[in-house]
Chain A
Amino acid sequence: MFSDTDYSTTVWSHFRAPKNAGEFHAGTPGVLSGTAGTRKHGRVVAFHLQVMADGRVADCRYRVYGCPATIALCSLTSEILKGGPLAAAAAYSVVALAEQLGLPAEKRAAAITIEDAIRNAAGRYNSHLRSTQASTEFTREL
């Protein structure tokens, strides 16, 4: 009952056909997962980052319960984070992305929820890989 005119074409197309949705296969190495939000508050985001030994994000997956903006932002963010350093992922401002896309201010909470999920995932990096070389690089980059 809604159409592309409510949201920009970019948001609309990512909502209609989100990229990188889902989860990694069980046993995929280097996967960090973080969640944020509650169903009661209208959105839940589970973000999964596959981090390589050099501290780069090789791939992303996510699952999302939420409004069209939340879904589209997950999809867009997953595309942007792919191939970049984990530090950049952890510092990435989904709020700024939402603003660039012209989403209304009330969608800010959606962006913050996604940032929280990504940071929760990135935050596991130290505990999981503390002893590795990648960990040192990651710390230096931060």
Chain B
Amino acid sequence: MSIYLDNNATTPLDPRVLDAMLPWLQGTHGNPASIHRPGRAARAALDKARAQVATLVNAQPAQVVFTSGGTEADNLALKGACSGIPRGHVLISAIEHAAVQAPAEDLRRQGWQVRRIPVDADCRIELNGLKKILDHDVCLVSVMLANNETGAIQDVKSVVAAAREHGALVHTDAIQVIGKLPVDFVTLGVGLLSLSAHKLGGPRGVGALIVDRRVDLVPQITGGGQEHAQRGGTEDLAGIIGFGKAAELAYLELDARRRHMQGLRDTLEAGIRAMHGIRIFAEHAERLPNTVQLGVTGFDGEMVVMELDKRGIAVSSGSACHSGSGRPSHVLLAMGVDEVQARSAVRISFGMQNTVDDVHTLLASLTTLASKRSGALAPA
């Protein structure tokens, strides 16, 4: 029996979400664009899911644009907001996911100025650093709501307040936060907010961009006029319905989930603190209740992942999208962590299926692993 502790990469599908999806994977269903009865039934199911996702983040259903995932949502946010306007400046935090960094790079190739907002040693963006580079040339600021590697939560509300003074639009990638902590589109005040289904018990291949009506977004996939003409293509009906259900469940169970995951995280951290040679990155930051990024002194993170994998424990050496690249985490480097330490990083991310026994098994494996090597991981 394997223990899956890589829930920030992707979560197992909640069986209740699967039940909601199954009728839409089987039988005859219309194309939501068709006006006959099966088509309209599909349209109604789509609208219900739209309302469920909107409720989770306190947005209006009409503000939800479904996409093929968080990556597409981030791409649509950056490129959609910056298409068709004179080239200006884009600010992104130094710790953004590749899904934000890559379209920003593409904007740079098209002649936009792209600048990075620095973070402190605990992975929190420096508001003063942001204010120094904010001016009226800045069209868009993109700062994630919580970092996927360290779990550090960002003060996006203050980013919005600072950006507003200069008339800049703010996008936030909230993919890691939904289902773990409350997210409020209205209170945050951002113009664009990215979501993904498969990080909160929903299916993969579905995401959404929440778009404030005042934002003039240029669609990146055209044809068919779906999603309020912001994203063409026949909708992944079963996937979207799954996303809706996952969002509804997350909304109803948020407190219980937060408590459960935080309990596991605290147990793990207590065990870790009793060991020598393991540090917790961004330890002093307010963090997601399920995420711990460890630095295991004297070990290469990739190696720890492989060793734990042999013992049936799945963890990550960074974000999944980077694995195999061999480069140390850009997030840790931005925090001022040196390259050797950054290479020792291992991320544990809990989900609702995990138990305290899983934590103890992990701690035991880490201890065993340590005994193989110069006592670096031995208990204090």
Contacts and interface: CB of A to CB of B under 8 A. Distances in A.
Interface of A: 1-3, 5
A1 B36 CA distance: 5
B35 interface: yes
Nearest to B34: A1
Contacts of B40: 5
Interface string B227-240: 00000000000000
Nearest to B39: A1
Contacts, number: 8
A2 B40 CA distance: 9
Contacts of B36: 1-2
Contacts of A1: 35-37
8 contacts: A1-B35, A1-B36, A1-B37, A2-B35, A2-B36, A2-B37, A3-B37, A5-B40
Interface string B14-46: 000000000000000000000111001000000
A121 to B, nearest CB: 35
Nearest to A3: B37
A3 B41 CA distance: 12
Contacts of A5: 40
A16 to B, nearest CB: 16
A120 B36 CA distance: 37
B328 to A, nearest CB: 59
Closest 6 CB pairs of A and B: A1-B36, A3-B37, A2-B36, A1-B37, A2-B35, A2-B37
Contacts of A2: 35-37
Given A1-B35, A1-B36, 6 more contacts: A1-B37, A2-B35, A2-B36, A2-B37, A3-B37, A5-B40
A58 to B, nearest CB: 41
Nearest to B40: A5
The majority secondary structure among interface residues of chain A is: loop
Nearest to A1: B36
A5 B36 CA distance: 11
Among A1, A2, A3, the one with the most B-chain Cβ atoms within 10 Å of its Cβ is: A1
B261 to A, nearest CB: 44
B160 to A, nearest CB: 40
A5 B37 CA distance: 9
Contacts of B35: 1-2
Nearest to B38: A1
Nearest to B36: A1
Interface in B262-294: none
A107 to B, nearest CB: 16
Nearest to B37: A3
A25 B239 CA distance: 61
A2 B37 CA distance: 6
B276 to A, nearest CB: 69
A1 B35 CA distance: 8
Nearest to B30: A1
A37 B40 CA distance: 31
A49 to B, nearest CB: 36
A1 B40 CA distance: 10
A3 B30 CA distance: 15
Interface string B93-124: 00000000000000000000000000000000
B73 to A, nearest CB: 33
A16 B36 CA distance: 17
A122 B112 CA distance: 70
A1 B30 CA distance: 11
Contacts of A3: 37
A3 B40 CA distance: 10
A5 to B, nearest CB: 8
A68 to B, nearest CB: 13
A5 B40 CA distance: 10
B254 to A, nearest CB: 35
Contacts of B37: 1-3
B40 to A, nearest CB: 8
Nearest to A2: B36
A2 B39 CA distance: 10
A2 B35 CA distance: 7
B30 to A, nearest CB: 10
B296 to A, nearest CB: 61
A42 B37 CA distance: 24
A61 B36 CA distance: 32
A119 to B, nearest CB: 34
A34 to B, nearest CB: 33
